[in-house]
Amino acid sequence: MVTEFKKVCILLIFALFAVSSSVLAADTYEIDAGHSTIGFAVKHLAVGTTRGSFTDYAGVFNFDPNDYSTFEVDVTIQTKSINTNLEARDTHLRSGDFLDAENNPTISFKSTRLEKRGEGQVIVGDLTIRGVTKQVTVPVTLAGPVKSPFGATVIGIAGDLRINRQDYGVAWSKNLDNGGLVVDDFVDLIVELEAQKK
């Protein structure tokens, strides 16, 4: 009986060691905002496209190119940093009609897993906008790690995702005479990130 108990304990120790070794194998990377973009595009008046970005955000990745199970990403965006190069429009976007930045100061994304799909990868995770959280699947391209000329180890992640803003309570809308919308419900999120190993 004692011998069997010892065997079980040894197996548990080895299992815990294997799990901790796998987690430790993933390097932690911090987003380099100076070489990154978190942007969006939305149809306007059914004929044009308005583009913008967020200028204040931070996030970290855990990434091991040989073990996707260790992947994690956690990104937080300051809602009020939205910028479309038109202050009146930005003020409206920060208001309760759209993102309600006063009551929802951040937008966040936290991954649940990284998967290979076909020739590429997807990140599955929870996107929170205006206090509403939805699971999304983001097709991405991963690059690196590489060594920069300045000695830093760097990875790149690029992806895009189309969401329906109505799903997140971003509900302001006006109809055009021809039946279209002043601001389309569908918004394309475009993310191009560089991150440096901490």
192: amino acid identity, one letter: E
**Domain annotation for the chain: domains and CATH numbers:** 26-197 (2.40.128.110)
pLDDT at 5: 52
Dist CA 113 CA 6 (whole Å): 35
Give residue 197's pLDDT: 96
Q: In 8-68, at which residue ranges do the beta strands (DSSP E only) sit?
A: 27-31, 37-44, 48-54, 57-63
Which residues have a Cβ under 8 Å from the Cβ of 118 and sit 6 or more positions away?
Answer: none
Contact (Cβ atoms closer than 8 angstroms) between residue 196 and residue 154 = yes
pLDDT, one tens digit per residue, over 23-78 is: 446 899 999 999 999 999 999 988 899 999 999 999 999 999 899 999 999 999 99
Looking at residue 55, its amino acid is: T
Structure tokens at 58: 């931070």
Structure tokens at 59: 């996030």
Average the pLDDT over 81-94 and give the result: 97
> CA–CA separation, 98 vs 177, rounded Å?
22
Q: What's the confidence (pLDDT) of residue 179?
A: 63
Question: How many residues appear in the chain?
Answer: 198
Q: Is the pLDDT of residue 7 over 60?
A: no
Residues 6+ apart with CB under 8 A from 76: 57, 58, 59, 106, 107, 108
pLDDT the model gives residue 15: 47
pLDDT per position as a tens digit, 169-181: 999 988 776 767 8
Q: Is 186 helix (H, G, I), strand (E, B) or coil?
A: strand
> Residue 67 has what pLDDT?
93
Predicted pLDDT at 27: 95
Long-range pairs for 122-125: beta carbons < 8 A, 24 or more residues apart: 123/71, 123/73, 123/159, 125/73
Find where tokens 């190069």 sit: 85
